[in-house]
Structure 1
Amino acid sequence: MTSRNEQLMELRNQHVPAGVSLLNPAFIARAQGAIMTDVDGRELIDFAGGIGVNNVGHSHPKVVAAIKEQAEKFIHTCFHVAPYELYIELAAKLNELSPGSFPKQTMFANSGAEAVENAVKIARIATKRSGIISMEHGFHGRTLMTMSLTSKVKPYKYGFGPFAPETYRTPSAYCYRCPYGMSYPSCQCACADKLEEFFTGYVAAEQTAAVIVEPIQGEGGFVTPPKEYFAKLQAICKKHGTLLIIDEIQSGMGRTGKLFAIDHWGIEPDLITTAKSLAGGMPLSAVTGRSEIMSVPHPGGLGGTYGGNPLALSAALAVLKIFTEDGLLTRAEALGVKLQTRFKAMQENYEVIGEVRGKGPMLALELVHDRETKAPAGDLAKKLTKVCFDKGLVILSCGAFGNVVRFLMPLVITDEQLERGLGILEEAFQEVCGKA
């Protein structure tokens, strides 16, 4: 007998283009916390979190209540036409909580890509420059500008050119595969210093509006820069009047044990983009930055019909209350310690795990066929994700070579659910890779 999942897959293939990919063949009927249940009644432990969207968990009761309460008042007016207090309230909250001891302002959009697009617009008009530098292995979205800034060609850019002009990419701080053949800490974080050379050989500093970088690269494989990196990068940007945009779309909202991942490096960016877990699953993104920069665009130059939707804003305010009032950041820190310990132990048992990296509970395992050559094991990562799914655990692969397994489980996951999930992961490693 054909299952409901199989029926829906047949309908999906008929009515939805193949370009809208599916990573797993399970259609979800309901989800709560860290557990998803598909249309056939099968439970799945969620270590993917909707690609970093569900930090406070699926259908958190406080988020659901906030959405319901607002829906009974009004759903949409368009802030530009008939404004409402929620927009100002959330903007003020993000201005208060984001790093930086200077006055800040915030605008809202719908997706992470829109946030990046607007950050680029703001940087360009504020500096009167056009060049934007992003990082190798970086990911910023799939619109024209953000696709141009994104590094990986397949599947994100292939066949979709030509791309936006005045976008450039420089090597990232990928210490495990240093693009300059150096090793940390003896390199003294030379990859940041190389930005000066980049200004000479690729785009002049006087033409560069901003450098945009993720604190921890998401799709790029959770590449995590050393502690000195961002201070050096920011110093060079300040020297040349270039703005530093920190893309917190995947790493933000408690994912690393701090509300903003960049706080681990102790710098104050000029602009920050947030989305994903900002509104607990509702479509909302934000650009937060220095007031003197954010206030430059003329009236009507920023915004959009749905930007700052009342339901999404209500959800985001509930999310921030969960972090500030319910101790979720403390839980995230403890979760990160537990995961680090388990993954380091797994690295000792499985030769295929070349590196464990990340911060807090935003962690990843880079899989290699040989630890000496570091030959990427994308085939094993693909098998691992499938075996985990078959056993009831959803995980994601990423990275330029598709050989990195990343973990984005909801921070509200229970200890029992976590142990079950890690047990499945170990079983999958045993089955796919065997012990060292």
Structure 2
Amino acid sequence: MADSIAAQIQDLARPLRTPDDLDPLLERIGDARVVAIGEASHGTHEYYAWRAALTRRLIEEQGFTLVAVEGDWPDCYRVDRSVRLRPGAAEDPRDALDAFSRWPTWMWANDDVVEFCRWLRDRNAGRPEEDRVGFYGIDVYSLWDSMHALLDWLAEHEPGHVDQAKRALACFEPFGEDGAEYAFASRFAPTSCEQAAVDLLRSLCEQRGRVEAGIDADARFSAEQNAAVVVDAERYYRAMIRGSAESWNVRDEHMVDTLDRLLDRSDGGPHPHRAVVWEHNTHIGDARATDMAGAGMTNVGQLLRERHGTDDVVLVGFGGYRGGVIAGAEWGAQMARMPVPPARAGSVEARIHEAVGRDALFVFPRGERPEWLHRRLDHRAIGVVYRPERERWGNYVPTVLGERYDAFLHLEDTTPLQPLHLERADEHVPAGAYGQ
């Protein structure tokens, strides 16, 4: 049986040496509107480099119009303004990325993302504003940053809403911009800040059709998105007390809601938006093909398939056999370069290593699939917190590979990302945990 599985893996494997080797994957993507590209860790150079290479080809050859990432809206909005050459934005995207101040900064403040964003800015520079590709953060953690950004925008453009925004902000102020403290307090308090946040968002949306001439529609969309972050972040922190599955679901639903708003947005471009999504495998791969479903968890990949259909969504996973990674030894810890030992025996990564022994691309058939793609195998997942010594019993997600993804990139040897800076003493460490 082992020999049969090895033969099936060998038959499906394609060489992965240069971006040209991604041709079979681009053919599989075809006219799909959303391509979600994962990573098996948040700190591995090769995952970021190959993801960027695929994204460049999707933008250049297939007309994708936006990149949505597992980052906060306010931070990524500064990057977006830079890559789209908006007035007053940083001329070098590196400056916008280096300003990231929420742990773990290395996820986006690293050399690979700088290289991609510089490429994107250069490409956008030769195109009309409505044809420029954007870079957006769709995560939920930035409750206070989003509230302050919203307040600043209202003070300049819609002062009639400032008092309402200040009342909403005042509700959160006693908790010192600490999500955990707010979550704990809301467990015992008879009321929360939910209604204040919802009312603020509703009033903004009601004004959308009555915007005065001269107000930047792009900036107003950002203000509305910051208000949506406040609403969902408040829900996230309250859910965090009740259980990890519920808060995880709030977070992933927020990310897909944000993506849908970006896809549905009309900004004068000649074609409907098409999106590339960058997140961890645990968000990108369909939760129903893992043990997450049994724990009551959904995720981005599952929601995208449910909302947009399997023909319009392509999910791409990553895996690595051995190497190195940037991660923290605990939540909020200083980043460190860590070894990643050879994958656990019998895992997805170990089986591909034994059968192929080189970097490889797998594009899964739409119809009948080889038997190994229906097996539940361990699949390594390294989060922002990683302890290599736990490899024997942790760090893996039971996975049916052919149901979790539509394609998979296997890398034999990996190396750590190069961060732009070490974590700073005054850096904000969010409450809760990424899961991954």
Same fold per superposition (TM over 0.5): no
TM-score by length of 2: 0.33
Higher relative contact order (CA 8 A, sep 6+): 2
